[in-house]
Amino acid sequence: MLASLSIKNYALINELNIDFQEGMSIITGETGAGKSILLGALGLVLGNRADSTTLKDLDTKCVVEAQILIGKYHLQEFFESQDLDYEPNTILRREILPSGKSRAFVNDTPVTLSVLNELKSKLIDIHSQHQTLQLSDQEFQFQLLDTLAGNENKLASYKRGLTQYAESKRKLEKLQIQQREAHQQYDYNLHLYNELVDANLTKDEQPELEEELEKINNVEDIKLNLSEALQITQDEQIGIQNLLNTLENRLNKIASYSKEYEELASRITSAKIELDDITVELENANENIDFNPQKAEQINDRLQLIYNLQKKHYVQSNEELLEIQQNLSEKVATVENAEHNIQEQEQELAAISLKLDELATKISETRKKVIPKLTKELESILSDLGMSQASFSVKVNLSETYYKNGKDELSFLFAANKGGQFGELKKVASGGELSRIMLAIKKVLSENSQLPTIIFDEIDTGVSGEISNKMSKIMHEMSENMQVITITHLPQIAAKGNQHYKVYKEETKETTITKLKKLTEDERIVEIAEMLSGKDISDSAISHARELLN
């Protein structure tokens, strides 16, 4: 329950601290006194959006703090899921800075507005005057049925399944699009791929072929130079081998005289050995070099194939061609495997759909079961509220469409008079009737949920006399299971509260300030008498006020 509300620098409020209690609390005050400001501040701390225009003093931050007792309402799991410290006496705080930026805290832990709003749905139901319009909103009607049916866990499972279904369907559509696109290019890609496969390319093939062709094309020049090189090496008079033999003999004769000459002789011997090896390789090269026109043609043809493929694919090397071959292989495989992949995805989607259908059917069945009880209770409460002929026609039917809360299509119709035509609530019910219907619904919900607090903002609009007495009785009955805070203009309802607060304005030379105080028993009598007769309070009004309170 809401234990206290602290407001600083908000709208017409400088500073205000209110303590609330269990049971039914009444808030009254003249029109424009600031009752809506209180609700605005409470909405702010519960996650409503705001900006710097809500500040009374634009140079000072606005702070709204609510103390809420939640020990009885099994919210530990929610706090753990949001990584929040659980406290039976939970403090919600909202700060609006002069810059317009805002901060929100739960037990001094910073939170987002979405977390606050989710927590709000578990703590407080604020019924504003315009909320009666929700009566014709199907989402609200479904929430009513699901609360009575206890569908919370089933709906949570359904929503998780619906997320999986949407993701699986997205994957299937993507595969189908890819398949269509790939099919359009398949024949061409397959041709390109087979062309590269048939070419049997290797990474370093091109430079090796180009080198070999260069040798064949210059065979005469190579042959001439190899022959001359051998002549220079092997000539008996001036050949390098002969000269090195002579040099080696000369140095070997003096090698024993010093290490210096010995090292020189050794180096000459090494050079001679290296030259001998080179000479042998020159002889082999000279013998093997020969012009082979057939070989030259084969290499030319092979290189031309490679050059054509490179030109076709706008690349410069076999390495790049092999990368293209791999990419083409994957594209071809995608098409060839697409049907299998699509079948697998279709099977996955069908399995998810089957589970969703089972859940949706269970949700629908539980909704259908509570409809007779709901309509009976609503009609009974409305009968007490002066609508004895009111009746509802509520039907749910399974469709083929997946909605966010199941597969049901809902018909929630109302008739105010016996034999009257059923129609949408907003079309066939008056403002006063809508207020009574909403109160009846809130009464039913209060008996089937563990919501700690409900706040009625002038739900008595459009009613008076005996009906207001009946409404106050219903609200008082609700307060036995939950905290009820009612903002009202009717003395019959004001008199039913366990405690009574008055909102009023106080004017100074500089400004107007909204204030609130808890009324004593005598002050309540005066306040209710004023609600009965206006500012000029008569003795009969005082007497009537006492009777109402008693």
Instruction: Tell me the CATH number for domain 1-127+453-519.
Output: 3.40.50.300
The amino acid at 18: I
3-class secondary-structure state, position 131? helix
Nearest to 25 by CA among 540, 476, 526, 490: 476
CA distances from 299 to 216, 285, 290, 305, 306 (A): 10, 20, 15, 10, 11
The residue whose two tokens read 């010093």 is: 258
Q: What is the CA radius of gyration of the chain?
A: 47
Q: Nearest 5°: phi and psi at 5?
A: -135, 125
CA distances from 46 to 38, 72, 372, 435, 445 (A): 12, 20, 35, 24, 21
Residues ≥6 apart with Cβ < 8 Å to 400 = 407
List, as one string, the DSSP characters of 479-500.
Answer: TTTSEEEEE-S-HHHHTT-SEE
- C-beta separation of 145 from 441 below 8 A: no
- C-beta separation of 232 from 224 below 8 A: no
Whole-angstrom distance, CA of residue 105 vs CA of residue 112: 8
Which residues is 25 bridged to in the sheet?
485, 499
- C-beta separation of 13 from 7 below 8 A: yes
CA 3 vs. chain centroid, Å, equals 34
Own/partner pairs for 100-107, CB < 8 Å, 24+ apart?
A: 100/51, 100/52, 102/50, 104/47, 106/82
Pairing of strands 62-69, 124-127: unpaired
152 CB-contact burial (10 Å; exposed 0-12 / middle 13-18 / buried 19+): exposed
Which H, E and C letters describe 355-424, residue by residue? HHHHHHHHHHHHHHHHHHHHHHHHHHHHHHCCCCCCEEEEEEEEEEEEECCEEEEEEEEEECCCCCCCEC
Whole-angstrom distance, CA of residue 7 vs CA of residue 59: 16
Whole-angstrom distance, CA of residue 309 vs CA of residue 22: 87
Whole-model pTM over 0.85: no
Nearest to 481 by CA among 73, 68, 45: 73
Helix or strand holding residue 59 (H, E): none
Domain ranges of the chain: 1-127+453-519, 175-338, 522-550
CA distances from 227 to 217, 280, 441 (A): 18, 13, 114
pLDDT value, residue 2: 93
| Cα dihedral 26/32/36/40 (nearest 10) | -140
- C-beta separation of 512 from 494 below 8 A: no
Whole-angstrom distance, CA of residue 362 vs CA of residue 341: 32
String of b and e for 521-541 (b: at least 16 CB within 10 Å)?
eeebbbbbbbbbbeeebeeeb
Nearest to 64 by CA among 2, 5, 125, 3: 5
58 CB-contact burial (10 Å; exposed 0-12 / middle 13-18 / buried 19+): exposed
Whole-angstrom distance, CA of residue 219 vs CA of residue 499: 117
- C-beta separation of 390 from 379 below 8 A: yes
pLDDT value, residue 130: 65
**Tens digit of each residue's pLDDT, the chain (550 residues):** 899 999 999 988 888 999 999 999 999 988 777 888 888 899 899 988 877 778 888 888 999 999 999 988 888 988 999 999 999 999 999 999 888 888 999 999 999 998 998 888 888 888 876 666 677 788 889 988 998 998 989 999 999 999 999 999 999 998 888 777 777 777 788 888 899 999 999 888 888 888 888 888 888 888 888 888 888 888 777 788 888 888 888 888 888 888 988 899 899 889 989 988 988 888 888 777 777 778 888 888 888 998 899 899 999 889 999 999 998 888 777 776 777 888 889 999 999 999 999 999 999 999 999 999 999 999 999 998 888 899 999 999 999 999 999 999 999 999 988 877 888 888 888 878 888 888 898 888 888 777 889 999 888 777 777 888 888 889 998 998 889 999 998 998 999 999 999 999 888 777 888 889 999 999 999 999 998 888 888 889 899 999 988 8
Nearest to 199 by CA among 96, 116, 308: 308
Whole-angstrom distance, CA of residue 331 vs CA of residue 190: 9
